[in-house]
Structure 1
Amino acid sequence: MSVVLVVDDEPHLRRTLAISLRARGYEVETVADGRSALQSVADRAPDVVVLDLGLPDLDGIDVLRRLRQTSTVPVIVLSARTDSSDKVEALDVGADDYVTKPFGMEEFQARVRAALRRGGEGENHPPAVRTEHFDLDFAERTATIGGDVVRLTPTEWRLLAVLARRPGHLVSQKDLLHEVWGPGYGRESNYLRVYANQLRRKLEPDPTHPRYLVTDPGQGYRFEV
């Protein structure tokens, strides 16, 4: 049974989400503040975290940043903040998805299912990639540069896997969004920009002039290996 950790300081929303998730067969733990969330992740290792940004003790972005120092658990951010810069910041820090309040319960459940698939599904892994600058082992989810391990998030691995299955070929923005985030996505090109930039900073010898993760403006991305 998959474990979902819900982190929100609104008691009514915590109860509503817990009831809905348990009705779908998930085990649910709820906490109301950031420090409790970090402790729960350390103790329980949930399969997905639902994280509100407006917490009473720590800002949700700070919680996410601390979480990413030790864990790659999929994180769905909940927030009443609608500005695109807030979404980009959350994604840049390591969120896997961003849901704006208010939201429909069916949409929320679909996001949870997609996050769980990203975090733990058994998939046909692409062959390992060896380049002059980095090595990628998709089966073991290890990335190294000169023997040093580079930490990639689950979503970064999934994005690379989609591209690595079609090396040198254009993968459209829509196809990438569908395969990485799920069929409910197709217009969130800002997600792709954020994750492509993160991967370039981590893997490319010169992130400002990418050699491996190449953008076809307005079209999609290519993985040149």
Structure 2
Amino acid sequence: MNILILEDEPRNAKRLIRLLSDIDRTFIVEGPLASIKETVEFFQSGKTTDLILADIRLTDGLSFEALKYAPATVPIIFTTAYDEYAVQAFKFNSFDYLLKPLDPDELETAIDKATKAGKNYTDENLQQLFDALQKNKFRYRERFLLPYRDGYKTVRVSDINHIETENKTVYLRLNNGTSEVVNVSMDELEHQLNPDYFFRANRQYIINVEHVLFLGNYFGGKLIVRLKGYPKTEIQVSKEKAQRLKEWIDR
């Protein structure tokens, strides 16, 4: 069976490929494709597949835009970080979905179900799901509730300068120079935060566009990002992400 993966996070894609191999070594994995553009080109070239595993968000938008070009008979399983509204939308429109991090047993069950049932959607409910998620913008996270002394305190997303992971701990670096630890992975935060304002610069950093001070050219087509209020922090962006970062800022 051929399985097409739509996933813009390399680590997630590698793990998914490994899980698929563990389930059945005869699976032929295609991709991962990280963008709408790549996915549309894949289908327009006449290629097809037996099953699609699709992350909701790709580098250049929501995967639904590309799935309009998929063959009408191919089942789709969506993968997503937890979002209450998104989960409700999937259930309402009867779509198969898996929550990240993916559970091997749940993945195997979903694949078995999808291949036995065949196509699991209509063009109409695919559009309804797309419209619903667009309208609500996934209800992007607006604040964090964090333990504080004998209670809790809140941190607004707008107060975040950037987010950094260090030694498997994730820190919110705030505009006032302080830091807060959160029990949320970088991959989850990337999906929970509004992409109009937050950009995954690399595995270690997510940056807030409102606080980008300077982009410096670096060897090999890479960029160095400097942020307001954090003069000692230099964030390296790969050549592959550099152009997208410039387009993201220059809007």
Instruction: State TM-score, norm by structure 2.
Output: 0.42
- Asked which structure has the greater CA Rg, the reply is 2
Select the structure with the greater relative contact order (CA < 8 A; seq sep ≥ 6): 1
Query: Per residue, is there more strand in 1 or in 2?
Result: 2
Instruction: State TM-score, norm by structure 1.
Output: 0.46
